[in-house]
Amino acid sequence: MKIALLFILYYYIMEPNQIYKKFEPFSYKSIDDLKKKLNQLGVKIPISHEVELLKRNLAFGNFCIPNRLAVQPMEGFDAKEDGSPSKLTYRRYERYANGGVGLIWFEATSISEICRSNPHQLMLTEKNLHEFKKLVKSTRKTCNDNLKNLGFEDKCILIIQLNHAGRYSKLDGEKFPIRAFHEKELDKAIQVNQENGMIISDEELEIIEDIWVEKAILAKEAGFDGVDIKACHGYLIGELLASRKRESSIYGGESWEKRARLLLNIIKKLSKHISKNDDFIITTRLGIYDGIPYPNGFGIKAEEGQ
C-alpha cells in the first residue's frame, strides 16, 4: 500500500491587526458581483471563464479523483448528542454527493467528547461506528451514481477530517479552552479569561497521539478513503505549531521539531497500522499562515511580526 501524504495549505490574506475582526459574509450571484467586490478591495485575482479543465481527473498513488471539484470540510453542527450523523447530516451529504464533485472532504469530526467545539459536532466512536459506515455507504453510492450519469469513469474519494478543538473546546456547552500555552490576546479573541479551561500537559498530549490513531483506524473501518489530521485554524495541532511560549515541554518552545511533534508522531504511529496491501490516504490540512503576529502565530518571522 502506498500512503499519499497530502499537505493542503491554507492562506489567510489578513493584516495582523485584522485578525480579531469578523469576516464579511458574501452573497455573490454572478462573476460580475465578484469582480465588483475585487475592484472595491483593490485585489487583483485572475478570473477564467474556461471551466473544461475542471472535468479533468487527477491521479496520485493508487487513487484517481474523477474531476477537480471538491466539497471542502465545514461543520454543520447537526449531529446527534453522541456524535452520530443525524437526518440533517445525511441530507447535507446527499446534496453534496449530488453536486458532481469527485472529492468529498467530510467536516471536522471530534476525536473525543472533551474536545468537541459544539455539542452537535460529529464525533467518531466505536459505539457509533456503524452509523458512520451507513453514512459513508450512502454518500459514496449517491456520489458515484451521479458521477456516472455525468460521464465520469472514476469513483469519488471520501476523506474525513479528525480534530481536537483545543482552544475552541466546549464542555457541557460552555467554553473550556484546552490551550497549548497562555496568551491574553488569543484569549481575548474567543472572549475567555486565563482562569477558564486548562493548559494541556505533555502526558495528556502523548495520550492524544494514541487516541488520534485509534480514531483514524476507525475511520478506515467506516469506509473512508483517507483521514485528515487537522492542523489549521488555531485548533490544538495548529496552536502547537506556533507554541513558542510553551515552556519546558517536548511539544513546544523555539524548536520546530518539538512544536511539530504531535502532528508528526500521529502520522508515524498511524502509518505503522496501515497495511502495505491497503490503500488509505493520510493527509493533513496545514494552516501555513494564520495572520497572528510573532511569536503567537505560525508561518511568520520575528522581524515581520513586530
Q: What is the pTM of this model?
A: 0.88
**Model confidence at 1, in pLDDT bands (50, 70, 90)?**
very low
**Model confidence at 8, in pLDDT bands (50, 70, 90)?**
very low
Residue 16 has pLDDT above 70, yes or no: no
Distances (CA, A) of 249 to 81, 245, 261, 287: 35, 10, 11, 22
Distance from C-alpha of 140 to C-alpha of 155, rounded to nearest angstrom: 9
Distance from C-alpha of 58 to C-alpha of 152, rounded to nearest angstrom: 12
- Exposure on the CB side of residue 201, measured as CA atoms within 13 A: 3
pLDDT of residue 98: 98
Residue 57 has pLDDT above 70, yes or no: yes
**Residues 6 or more apart in contact with residue 171 via CB below 8 angstroms:** 114
Tens-place pLDDT, residues 214-248: 999 999 999 999 999 999 999 999 999 999 999 99
In the chain the first and final C-alpha atoms are separated, in Å, by 46
Chain CA centroid to CA 209, Å: 17
Per the listing, cell 483506524 goes with 217
Least confident stretch, 47-61, 129-143, 152-166:
47-61
Domains recognised in the chain with CATH numbers: 5-11+71-289 (3.20.20.70)
Distance from C-alpha of 166 to C-alpha of 170, rounded to nearest angstrom: 9
Residue 298 has pLDDT above 50, yes or no: yes
The DSSP letter of residue 62 is T
